[in-house]
Amino acid sequence: MDQLSTFLPFIAMFAVVYFFMIAPQMKRAKQEKQFAAALKKGDRVITKSGMHGKVVDLNDKDSSCVIETMAGKIKFDRSAISMEMSKKFNTAPAKK
């Protein structure tokens, strides 16, 4: 019983760290992977660096996509596309 009471704070601390830090991070990584896999031509996206554009080509071989911006077409890795900013961009009301 004495040994259990010694390790109980460590077990509780690990449980708190897991449920508040590790599990949400794993869930977010899974959502980002699904988002990148679900990209299709014509989707309006924002990269993590803030570049706005429209997906014009997808390459599953090297997991990249070509985005058309006002400056031209640029090739990006799918992981460079921001899930949160792209969702906000697509759900925001259009400016008149």
90 Cβ neighbours under 8 A, 6+ residues apart: 43, 44
φ, ψ of residue 91 in degrees (nearest 5): -100, -10
Residue-level pLDDT, tens digit, the chain, 96 residues: 678 788 899 999 999 999 899 999 999 999 988 988 888 999 999 999 999 999 999 998 998 999 999 989 999 999 899 988 888 877 876 665
Clarify whether residues 54 and 31 are in a common domain.
Answer: no
The verdict on 58 and 79 lying in the same domain is yes
How far is CA 60 from each of CA 15, 31, 36, 41, 56, rounded to the nearest angstrom? 38, 18, 11, 13, 14
Structural domain including 68 reads: 40-96
Total domains in the fold of the chain = 2
Residues 29 and 44 grouped into a single domain:
no
Same-domain status, 51 and 88 = yes
